[in-house]
């Protein structure tokens, strides 16, 4: 983990790619006390396709029409 003072962070923010390229995490301190932690951006996860999602879902063994009809009968 890299530690920077507030002044160093301000000066380096004009070129963040150079400032943060060699480290995973940067801790910004003021008078020895941490005030901020800068972390790398996590890459976005690729979204699954709708087809893959639907394939992973369990199928009902009883059709929904039957379930609804039973529900209505139970109310009466």
Q: What is the reported pLDDT for 71?
A: 92
Q: What is the pTM of this model?
A: 0.48
C-alpha separations of 52 from 39, 48, 57, 59 in Å: 32, 6, 9, 14
Tens digits of residue pLDDT in 5-60: 888 888 877 777 777 777 788 889 999 899 999 888 777 788 889 999 889 998 88
19 within a domain of the structure (yes/no): yes
Domain that holds residue 28: 2-38
Asked whether residue 17 is domain-assigned, the answer is: yes
Closest CA to 38 of 63, 16, 55, 18: 16
Residue 25 lies in a domain: yes
The whole-number pLDDT of residue 61 equals 87
Nearest to 57 by CA among 48, 65, 46, 66: 48
Confidence of residue 65 (pLDDT cuts 50, 70, 90): very high
Whether pLDDT at 69 is above 90: yes
Q: Which residue has the higher pLDDT, 9 or 74?
A: 74
């Amino acid at each position: 983990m890299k530690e920077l003072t507030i002044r160093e962070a301000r000066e380096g923010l004009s070129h963040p790619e150079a400032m943060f390229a060699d480290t995973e995490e940067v801790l910004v301190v003021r008078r020895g006390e941490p005030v901020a932690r800068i972390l790398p951006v996590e890459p976005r996860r690729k979204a699954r396709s709708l087809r893959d999602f639907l394939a992973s879902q369990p199928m009902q063994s009883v059709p929904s029409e039957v379930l609804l009809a039973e529900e209505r009968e139970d109310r009466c």
